[in-house]
Structure 1
Amino acid sequence: MILVTGATGNVGRRVVERLLAAGHPLRAVTREPSRANLPAGVEAVAADLADPETLRPHLAGVRAVFLIWPFTDPAVTARLAPRVAEVFAAAGGPRVVYVSAASAGEDPDSFWAVVERAVAASGVPWTMLRPTGIATNALGWASSIRAGGVVRWPYGGAARSLVHEDDIAAVAVEALTSARHDRKTYVLTGPRTVTQAEQVRIIGEAVGRETKWLETSAEAVRPMLAGAMGSPEFADSALAGWARLTTEPEPVTGDVQAVLGRPARTFEQWAADHTADFS
């Protein structure tokens, strides 16, 4: 049995689909199982990472856990992550595959890094997946592209090595089902960097319509970004990160290919897979 958290998210849903296709029994944690709309064959159970004890009854027979952490506040994470990891350890130490972030290696105080340390300290087998950025971030421009094709956003020159969400899921499934990835950390990226302005152009080519990047100040989007991210501090961190990427592009690694035996998918492939979202 494999336990999946975040099963209704962009990556988690792909993990569920891949595990089901491979014939693995699945149990998905959700706060409201009746509304999860998960595929047939998935056992949906009610639990909440905010209350780690609710996980305990659902870990019987579980040999691996796919972990998506839902809390961005470092203080909340510092309180909850060790308790969640302790519940995993007490259940026999299932393998934990955690979708972290590349920034965890740079900022030890980030919530990403706090969760990594808690999982590692618990003694369970683990694999840390650190995407530089997930290509589905570009879905934030979908309404603008549908409405007229003009994206008003700052830092068009920010160069990102965005990774396809299904590549993350494929690596996660490999790690969930094989001990050879235990105690390993993978930095997951696309095969090259693409600036934000280039992303908009590529999406336009995929959907067959003209798109345009209109450079906007960071201050103009900060209030909206803070609301969407739930924190002014998180918004400021994102804006500072994009500013840095205009002069220091995100790294490109070969970790997706090392695990899967094939190259990571390009942003062009991602855009082609998501034409319905922008049309």
Structure 2
Amino acid sequence: MSILVTGARGAVARGLASLLAAHDIPHRLASREPDTPDMPDAADAPDRPDAPDDAPDIVHCDLTDPSTFPGALAGVRSVFLYAEAAAIGTFVKEAVTAGVEHVVLLSSSSVLSPNAADSPLSASHLAVEEALLASPLRTTLLRPGSFASNALGWAWSLKSGRPVHLPYPGSYSDPIHEADIAEAAFAVLTNPALAGRTYHLTGPHALTFATQLAILGHVLGTPVPFESVTAEQWKSEVAGYIPGPYADALLDYWAATDGLPVEITDTVEHLTGHPARSFESWAEGRVDAFRAEGVHA
């Protein structure tokens, strides 16, 4: 059994690849830029003379470029797939031709929204889900909620000593540790009894943005201030790196969950055998990302 792990530079794919390697399960890492230095185990790539015999195979697979699909899929029986919709129809055809039997999609719980097809937060995930479910491929859908790593968007403010600007400090989310998503993916890829289903993954608690910042402050050993700003001000501040339609969709979601706790599931525990990791545990592993250089607890 060989498993193709797409999006190999992503945190979830990295965690999954580590688990597969630890259990000696044959796998292949795929990336649209396989030769970049930040690739997992790039220093041990198989084409290096000093690479170990069990170094992972790293292949070129750009999910927007169908010409890269056949080589990446050759000899593969299962795929961990990121939700890129640009060429999903061709990817499905090539996967079937290659003899792929099972696809685990990293989707999003945003597809549960009534306007999912029209929202930039969920449209791509939904389109890929629909294409896979309409195919002969056995499909498992992982629908995580908010990644805990979204909090890294506050790092610049924390490092510069400036308050975090929040349009909806009381908006709730369900931050999930990327390691839990990776472990869930490993479970459904390696246990046939778990495959072919849909799983809504969340962290263990519904937390407001204000509460997440308080937790970060506790972990860092210093309060993390925030300021409430208008939606228009926040959108203006992020215009350089968050496209307008995406920013609008985020604001709509935050407004809808302002003061309203989101649903929490026990799916992580069901799949992995342990409770979902807390936001605090995630923050404890990322303190350096939030501290200015030279600042220590």
Please confirm whether the aligned pair reaches a TM-score higher than 0.5, indicating the same fold. Answer: yes
How big is each residue's C-alpha offset from its partner over 1:249-269, in whole Å with a ceiling of 9 and x where there is no partner?
Answer: 221011111111211111111
How big is each residue's C-alpha offset from its partner over 1:225-258, in whole Å with a ceiling of 9 and x where there is no partner?
Answer: 45423x3211110111011111432210111111
Q: Paired residue for 1:73?
A: none
Q: Which amino acid aligns with 2:279?
A: F
Provide the C-alpha distance between the structure 2 equivalents of 1:276 and 1:23, rounded to a whole number of angstroms.
32
- Post-superposition shift, 1:224? 4.4
Tell me if 1:232 matches 2:232. no
Choose which of 120, 136, 146 in structure 2 pairs with 1:133.
146
Choose which of 93, 101, 106 in structure 2 pairs with 1:99.
106
Q: Classify the secondary structure of the residue corresponding to 1:187.
A: strand
- Post-superposition shift, 1:136? 0.4
Q: What TM-score do you get using the length of structure 2 for normalisation?
A: 0.87
**Measured at CA, do residues 216 and 108 of structure 1 come closer, stay the same or move farther in structure 2, by a change above 3 Å?**
closer
Q: Paired residue for 2:48?
A: none
Q: Paired residue for 1:195?
A: 208
Matches within 5 A, 1:115-154: 115-148=128-161, 150-154=163-167
Tell me if 1:253 matches 2:254. no
Identity %: 37
Tell me if 1:54 matches 2:68. yes
Tell me if 1:209 matches 2:210. no
Indicate if the aligned counterparts of 1:3 and 1:65 stay in contact, CA closer than 8 A: yes
Which deviates the most, 156-165 or 217-226?
217-226
**Measured at CA, do residues 277 and 49 of structure 1 come closer, stay the same or move farther in structure 2, by a change above 3 Å?**
same
Provide the C-alpha distance between the structure 2 equivalents of 1:247 and 1:52, rounded to a whole number of angstroms.
44
The structure whose Rg is larger is 2
Tell me if 1:81 matches 2:113. no
Indicate if the aligned counterparts of 2:6 and 2:61 stay in contact, CA closer than 8 A: no
Unaligned runs of 5+ in 2: 45-54, 118-122, 292-297
**Measured at CA, do residues 64 and 224 of structure 1 come closer, stay the same or move farther in structure 2, by a change above 3 Å?**
farther
Provide the C-alpha distance between the structure 2 equivalents of 1:93 and 1:24, rounded to a whole number of angstroms.
16
Choose which of 148, 168, 185 in structure 2 pairs with 1:172.
185
* Structural RMSD (CA): 1.6
Q: Classify the secondary structure of the residue corresponding to 1:16.
A: helix
- Post-superposition shift, 1:100? 0.6
Q: Classify the secondary structure of the residue corresponding to 1:258.
A: helix
Indicate if the aligned counterparts of 1:149 and 1:210 stay in contact, CA closer than 8 A: no
- Post-superposition shift, 1:32? 2.2
Choose which of 277, 282, 287 in structure 2 pairs with 1:275.
287
How big is each residue's C-alpha offset from its partner over 1:65-115, in whole Å with a ceiling of 9 and x where there is no partner?
Answer: 111124xxxxxx3x5222212211221133111111111122451221111
Q: Paired residue for 1:38?
A: 40
Indicate if the aligned counterparts of 1:10 and 1:136 stay in contact, CA closer than 8 A: no
Q: Classify the secondary structure of the residue corresponding to 1:34.
A: coil
Provide the C-alpha distance between the structure 1 equivalents of 2:201 and 2:239, rounded to a whole number of angstroms.
26
Q: What TM-score do you get using the length of structure 1 for normalisation?
A: 0.92
Choose which of 252, 274, 277 in structure 2 pairs with 1:265.
277
Unaligned runs of 5+ in 1: 71-76
Provide the C-alpha distance between the structure 2 equivalents of 1:128 and 1:226, rounded to a whole number of angstroms.
32
